[in-house]
Amino acid sequence: MNDFDFFDTPITPVDVLQEKAEVTIHVRDTATMEQKSVRAIVAKSIENLPEGKGERLHVFGRLGVHITDDWFIHVLEELDDEALSTDHTLAQKMDMEQSLGSVEKFKESRYRKPKEG
């Protein structure tokens, strides 16, 4: 069984992962570190995938934090890399907008005192 990694990006946020949904995403094979674009079905339980077959999908946030939710993936087909390409300017704009509202937060130091205003 292969495992895959999925990374939250402004173009393909973690929100695209919905129970039993068909998605088109970039993944990384954990054994070979090869990145590829795939059309796949994702679910939180392997039993919810077609024929009960699939691989584990490790999900990481934009800051590299492993998201603890369990996900599984059943790859329907591998796509050309251009299938998920995005305009660089659009990607940069989306990255700035979404990073301001990211659900991930940096740890705050317990020694740092808030500014007095």
Averaged pLDDT for residues 101-112: 66
The string of pLDDT tens digits covering residues 51-72 is 888 999 999 887 778 887 789 9
Task: Give the Cα separation of 59 and 112 in Å (integer).
Answer: 31
User: Across-strand partners of 79?
Assistant: 37
Task: Give the Cα separation of 14 and 17 in Å (integer).
Answer: 6
- pLDDT above 90: residue 83: no
Domain spans of the chain, in order of start: 3-100
pLDDT at 85: 61
Q: What is the mean pLDDT of the chain?
A: 81
The string of pLDDT tens digits covering residues 31-46 is 999 888 899 999 999 8
Structure tokens, 103: 């659900």
Q: What is the DSSP string of 42-108?
A: EESSGGGSGGG--EEEEEE-TTSPEEEEEEEEEEEEEE-GGGG---HHHHHHHHHHHHHT-S--PPP
